[in-house]
């Protein structure tokens, strides 16, 4: 049976650099008012400016122009909205101002920001919200604006319907034969729905046997390897604890000895053969940390560290002893490790079924702590309500997402208004400095070394266990739709629906979605799921840059030309 997909951490329509669990950046010590920290009167020297020239014809769905005010509103919303999931990069901005007209946007930065192409990748329309500095109550069950080729016709728990935006000015005009783009939730039945002709296209998480299940004379399956990867993540808590539903919980993984011994108690080669070889017989264990192989992947770290004798010694040296049940305990208590996954995901459920008995045999008191996808990705992960988590991240082309997910100042706390995606609570000042320095480093080789050095710290601290680079899979009915394969390896996923061709004459393309967002807000935890980005943000929100199928960035039709970047 199939299941629920790909959440990542990091999300993207608005925040671009984030992991799609969101496809979303990082944060600062405080998400302060933009008049002091991001876009108002700003103080101090300007290290960099970016000038964006908005296309003269660029308008919203109601025909009103897209202007500097919408850039300012986007900045204000990201920096000030309670529960803003990421402020990375935006927290470097001191002012947003009009240049020669309100169609020219001059953005000033207090320091160099190398991954600037991630910024303003999804604009918030100022006129669509009451208060740009707090949009937490907006976009709960509707999304009333668009600056793209599509606009929202209707939204419900059962389906979303998009129709061509008749005010759209750019080159991505919807083909004449396509009148509607429809998305429907099919979390457990997407393949059955595709083969039955209920939907035209699906974007399923790849798993063992999927190609056999998809065999049908009218179905074509396309596979690509991109930025998707799966890993296990340990929650260290904030100062070793989290407050969940008003109760304080101590996190066993806050103890570095406990983390190291836990990692060394898992035979990753055996796990890989059990879980991942059936998916890809030629696959190999991922050793890059929180990313896929490429320019930023350090060599010779992570991987299989299995050594039960060494793990036992680490635990005893740290003051643990096995209790009557054979579980590691300290002070008479064996810490419970709550391992959360999304229910219905058979691969992750199989991983739990395989590993939990082995971990208990090794002395670790692990229990399943599962819930559905909405609960998992939009509630438990953002609230750090777990000890161990397993999920796939969809990483954007630029590694700037590491800042939001792994720097100390991006641990969500009351002190920083719960900004950031470092849901693990990992605080390592060496890594934090390296990642923040990487944001300011414009030399590509030096930037890569800084990022690698931060990932080495993750390995030293045993905070995650990388597992597998996942293939991206798309499947469609060749008798109903065509020209769908152009962007299936894109971080933004199937973002070229405007040029898909309706073959059966019903005037619509129907996409079956694995996950269905519980709300539509592009700034808060609502955006912590890749399917939110694919079903809402990417479809409606215009931005300065978009990602390409080959992992690069390109200027969108929103702008007249490449932005002008000036450094001082």
pLDDT tens string 468-507: 998 888 999 999 999 999 999 998 889 999 999 999 999 9
- Band (pLDDT 50/70/90 cuts) for residue 211 is confident
Give residue 219's pLDDT band: very low, low, confident or very high (50, 70, 90): very high
Higher per-residue pLDDT: 411 or 83 = 411
Predicted confidence (pLDDT) at residue 1 exceeds the cutoff of 80: no
8: pLDDT strictly greater than 50: no
Residues 80 and 39: beta-carbon distance below 8 Å: no
pLDDT at 404 over 50: yes
- pLDDT digits over 153-172, tens only? 999 999 999 999 999 999 99
Residue 245: CB atoms within 10 Å: 7
Tokens (6 digits) for 541: 């929100």
**pLDDT of 11 strictly over 50:** no
Rg, Å, the chain Cα set: 23
- Alpha helix segments (H runs only) across 441-556: 444-461, 530-532, 538-540
Residue with tokens 């699906």: 202
| pLDDT for residue 10 is more than 60 | no
Task: Kindly report, residue by residue over 97-111, the tens digit of the pLDDT.
Answer: 999 999 999 999 999
pLDDT tens per residue, range 437-458: 999 999 999 999 999 999 999 9
Q: For residues 502 and 178, is the Cβ–Cβ distance under 8 A?
A: yes
Q: Where are the beta strands (DSSP E) in 158-218?
A: 160-164, 180-185, 201-202
DSSP of 100-115, one letter per residue? SSTTEEEEEESS--TT
Distance between CA atoms of 225 and 180, rounded to whole angstroms?
30
In terms of DSSP bridges, do strands 388-394 and 219-234 run parallel, antiparallel, or are they unpaired? antiparallel
pLDDT computed for residue 483 by the predictor:
97
Per-residue pLDDT at 44 = 66
Give the residue among 348, 371, 351 at the shortest CA–CA distance from 268: 351
Q: What would the two tokens of residue 560 be?
A: 């007249």
The whole-number pLDDT of residue 207 equals: 80
**pLDDT (tens digit, 9 = 90+) per residue, 336-369?**
999 999 998 889 999 999 999 999 999 999 999 9
Q: What is the mean pLDDT of residues 267-274?
A: 97
What is residue 306's predicted lDDT score, i.e. its pLDDT?
A: 98
pLDDT at res. 81: 94
Mean pLDDT over the full length of the chain: 90
- Region 123-144: mean pLDDT is 95
Does residue 15 have a pLDDT over 70?
Answer: no
Q: What is the pLDDT of residues 518-532, one digit of tens each?
A: 889 999 888 877 888
- Say whether pLDDT at 535 is over 50: yes
**Burial of 44 from C-beta contacts in 10 A (0-12 / 13-18 / 19+):** exposed
pLDDT attached to residue 14: 52
Distance CA 241, CA 249 (A): 5
Give the integer Cα–Cα distance in Å for 257 and 85: 30
**DSSP state letter for 497:** G
The tens digit of pLDDT for each residue in 26-72 reads 222 222 233 333 344 345 689 999 999 999 999 999 999 999 999 99
Return the pLDDT at 432: 98
In this model, does residue 7 exceed pLDDT 80? Answer: no
pLDDT tens-place string over residues 283-340? 999 999 999 999 999 999 999 999 999 999 999 999 999 999 999 999 999 999 999 9
- Measure the CA–CA gap between 408 and 429, rounded to whole angstroms: 7
The predicted pLDDT at position 449 comes to 97
139: left (phi over 0), alpha (psi -120 to 50) or beta: left
């Amino acid at each position: 049976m199939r299941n629920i997909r790909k959440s990542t951490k990091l999300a993207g329509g608005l925040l671009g650099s984030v992991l799609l669990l969101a496809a979303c950046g990082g944060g600062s010590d405080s998400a302060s008012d933009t008049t002091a920290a991001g876009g108002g009167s700003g103080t101090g020297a300007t290290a960099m400016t970016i000038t964006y020239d908005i296309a003269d014809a660029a308008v919203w769905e109601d025909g009103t122009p897209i202007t500097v005010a919408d850039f300012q509103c986007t900045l204000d919303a990201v920096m000030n909205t309670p529960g803003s999931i990421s402020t990375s990069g935006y927290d470097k901005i001191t002012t947003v101002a009009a240049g020669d007209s309100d169609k020219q946007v001059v953005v000033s930065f207090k320091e160099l920001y190398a991954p600037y192409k991630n910024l303003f990748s999804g604009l918030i329309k100022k006129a669509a919200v009451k208060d740009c500095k707090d949009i937490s109550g907006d976009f709960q069950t509707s999304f009333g604006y668009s600056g793209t080729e599509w606009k929202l016709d209707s939204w419900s728990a059962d389906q979303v319907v998009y129709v061509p935006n008749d005010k759209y000015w750019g080159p991505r005009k919807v083909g004449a034969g396509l009148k509607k783009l429809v998305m429907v939730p099919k979390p457990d039945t997407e393949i059955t729905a595709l083969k039955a002709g209920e939907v035209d296209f699906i974007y399923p998480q790849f798993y063992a046997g999927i190609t056999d299940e998809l065999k049908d004379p009218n179905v074509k399956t396309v596979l690509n390897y991109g930025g998707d990867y799966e890993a296990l993540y340990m929650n260290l808590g904030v100062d070793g604890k989290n407050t969940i539903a008003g109760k304080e919980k101590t996190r066993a993984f806050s103890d570095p000895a406990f983390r190291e011994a836990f990692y060394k108690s898992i035979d990753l080669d055996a796990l890989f053969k059990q879980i991942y070889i059936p998916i890809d017989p030629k696959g190999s264990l991922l050793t890059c940390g929180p990313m896929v192989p490429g320019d930023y992947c350090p060599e010779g770290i992570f991987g299989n560290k299995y050594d039960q004798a060494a793990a036992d010694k680490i635990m005893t040296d740290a003051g643990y002893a096995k209790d009557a049940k054979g579980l590691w305990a300290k002070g008479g208590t064996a810490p419970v490790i709550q391992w959360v996954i999304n229910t219905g995901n058979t691969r992750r459920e199989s991983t739990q079924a395989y590993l939990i008995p082995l971990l208990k045999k090794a002395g670790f008191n692990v229990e399943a702590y599962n819930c559905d996808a909405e609960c998992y990705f939009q509630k438990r992960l953002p609230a750090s309500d777990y000890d161990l988590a397993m999920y796939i991240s969809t990483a954007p082309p630029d590694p700037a997402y590491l800042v939001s997910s792994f720097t100390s100042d991006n641990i969500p706390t009351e002190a920083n208004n719960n900004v950031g995606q470092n849901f693990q609570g990992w605080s390592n000042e060496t890594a934090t400095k390296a990642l923040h320095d990487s944001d300011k480093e414009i030399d590509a080789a030096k930037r890569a070394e800084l990022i690698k050095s931060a990932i080495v710290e993750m390995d030293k601290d045993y905070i995650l266990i990388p597992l597998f680079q996942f293939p991206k899979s798309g499947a469609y009915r060749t008798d109903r739709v065509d020209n769908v394969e152009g962007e299936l390896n894109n971080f933004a996923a199937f973002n070229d629906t405007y040029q898909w061709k309706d073959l059966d004459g019903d005037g619509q393309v129907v996409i079956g979605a694995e996950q269905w967002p519980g709300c539509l807000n592009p700034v808060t935890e609502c955006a912590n799921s890749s399917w939110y980005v694919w079903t809402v943000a990417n479809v409606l929100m215009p931005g300065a840059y978009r990602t390409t199928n080959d992992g690069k960035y390109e200027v969108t039709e929103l702008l007249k030309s490449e932005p002008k970047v000036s450094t001082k």
